[in-house]
Amino acid sequence: MHPRRRVGEHSLDLLLMKLQEKDYEIFSLRNQLTQQSSSKDSEIDQLSRKLGQTEYETKKSQEKEKELQSSLKREIEKLSSQIKAKETTHEETKEKYKKMRDKYDKVKLKVQSLEHYLKDLPTADDYAKSSESISFSIQH
């Protein structure tokens, strides 16, 4: 029985050694898993911070865009109002110009008519000559 006991002890020692190897493997795998898990957790934290920062920057950009749109809308409304005022002034000026032009044309016609009339009238020299001629004719 004694030799068998050694065989049994030997196989028990062998099993114990295999069990220790497996325990070491398990410990090593757990250690690797912990390291990878820690690395992944760190990466997730870093990506979460980047995501948060990007979301914050996106929100700020959207707010800035809304402010800019609002500002541009007010500027457009202001310029549109100024354009309408200028158009009204332009139309009024155009109307005044038309009236003044009509007046000018009428005055010009009157002046031309008076010049034509005056052209047909004798000048002071013509009158003097004509008077002399008439007096000369009457005297003779």
Q: Which two tokens stand for residue 77?
A: 């409304």
Cα distances from 28 to residues 14, 15, 24, 36, 81, in angstroms, run: 21, 19, 6, 12, 78
- pLDDT on residue 25: 95
- Per-residue pLDDT for 134 more than 90? no
pLDDT, one tens digit per residue, over 41-96 is: 999 999 999 999 999 999 999 999 999 999 999 999 999 999 999 999 999 999 99
60 vs 48: CA distance, rounded Å: 18
- Burial group, residue 115, by CB count within 10 angstroms (0-12, 13-18, 19+): exposed
Range 126-137 average pLDDT: 80
Phi, psi at residue 24, to the nearest 5°? -65, -45
pTM, full prediction: 0.48
Range 4-28 average pLDDT: 84
- Per-residue pLDDT for 140 more than 70? no
